[in-house]
Structure 1
């Protein structure tokens, strides 16, 4: 591969919540229901909003998904294709965009669809798309993704260590860190006679502010879309 081709290759970047969900759905359905892939708009909406294998639960409409698709197309992570009929369909370009193989794509997809998880959770959930033999094999895949700067550990090594993808925008990453700090503080409190109440209160306040900001952003995006339609 030439240097020029390497330079032109799209690099993974932070994605909005909806774009991450849509990308995860595209990869998941390509692996689990290949007969219905590439996906129609209806399939993408249904997959994004389904109750199983998703966290958080979302209620995306067609405008939300179209906006997410445009974001993914812009960064080189998804493509629009012509279906066998008149319906437009969509496919991912995750393997090229992430520069991963099948096990790496399965792990990234689960992290996109469900957020931070332990090694055991990753193995169990990703195995519906690619069979991960044991925790050692799962760790090897996660380590390869860490080396590619796609995944990071969110807690110290040991039992219950949590991993997350690195596609969160800064404001969501800040919320994630605050939530994990709160969980760690609660864990310390349960095993120590001197709880850090002031610290927990500050973290709770930060989480509340960030949730409020995210809610206002969603409302503004909806309002802008309504004005532009």
Structure 2
């Protein structure tokens, strides 16, 4: 059953809105030269096959609609400094969050429930934390505000997992069961260095696509 105490007074996002908002948060930190994002760049980011859970395949129109919905909710706004339609997030302003908590929220929006250790590794390019205790402190503050919930540790797990609540209340017990520790035979090594490299390459491709689109726009003009 769901936890009835989870009643955050925040906008409730569907899966598409959550994915697009997470992308805006992520790309602001990781590819600042290509930020704010065009609709095309937001679509590329939303459909990445790495650093996303689950992997999605969103059409351009759906991403554009999501960006406009986020704008209506006060979580994003259109940037008018260029001829291309670009968007930036307003998560920190709308939800009254410091940069560290915005980064954690972005990761939870993009990758689902995660441990504090996973969040520490994955947030290195997005925000700075003094130490592991500082990161946990930020998560606790988000819990107190109803933005994050801590999932009960399932049998075999060594660490708790955290999940955002911007998509509404969740069944914490059912979710915890989905993240049971795998058997030793089935366990895989998390190659964080390879994952980081793939993310960097995807960011480079997105930036090149932006430059190509800008060039095409100039030539067409």
Relative to the length of structure 1, the TM-score reads 0.69
Give me the whole-angstrom Cα distance separating, in 1, the residues matched to 2:142 and 2:52.
Answer: 21
User: What residue number does 1:63 align with?
Assistant: 61
Residue 163 of structure 2 corresponds to which residue in structure 1? Answer: 164
Are positions 1:111 and 2:105 aligned together? no
Q: Could you say which structure has the larger radius of gyration?
A: 1
For 1:183 and 1:88, how far apart are their aligned partners in 2? 39
Please give the root-mean-square deviation of Cα atoms over the aligned residues, in Å: 2.3
**Aligned residue number for residue 45 of structure 1:** 43
* Deviation per residue, 1:70-100 (Å, 9 max, x gap): 221121101112242x211111111111211
TM-score, structure 2 normalization = 0.71
Provide the residue aligned with 2:118 in structure 1: 121
Residue of 14, 17, 32 corresponding to 1:16: 14
Write out per-residue CA displacement over residues 176-223 of structure 1, whole angstroms, 9 at most, x where no aligned residue.
Answer: 652423556x88xx9xxxxxxxxxxxxxxxxxxxxxxxxxxxxxxxxx
Distance 1:32 1:181 in 2: 32
Structure 2 gap segments, 5+ residues each: 1-8, 184-221
Q: Indicate the SS of the match to 2:58.
A: coil
Instruction: State the distance in 2 between where 1:179 and 1:32 align.
Output: 29
Q: Which has the higher contact order (CA 8 A, sep 6+)?
A: 2
Which residue among 84, 91, 94 is the counterpart of 1:87? 84
Counterpart for residue 204 of structure 2: none
Checking the alignment, whether the CA contact within 8 Å between 2:152 and 2:173 is kept in structure 1 is no
Given that 1:12 and 1:97 are in contact with CA atoms closer than 8 Å, whether structure 2 keeps it comes out as no
Determine the C-alpha separation between the residues in 1 that align with 2:48 and 2:81.
23
Aligned pairs for 1:124-135 within 5 A = 124-135=121-132
Aligned to 2:174: 178
Unaligned runs of 5+ in 1: 1-10, 191-229
The answer to whether the 8 A contact 1:154-1:164 is kept is yes
Alignment CA distance shift 1:134-1:34 (3 Å): same
Does the C-alpha gap of structure 1 residues 104 and 87 become closer, same or farther in structure 2, counting only changes over 3 Å?
A: same
Deviation track 1:10-68 (CA, whole Å, cap 9, x = no partner) reads: x6221010101110111111111111111111110111111221111111111110221
Contact 1:80-1:91 within 8 A present in 2 as well: yes
Tell me if structure 2 keeps the 8 A contact 1:118–1:161: yes
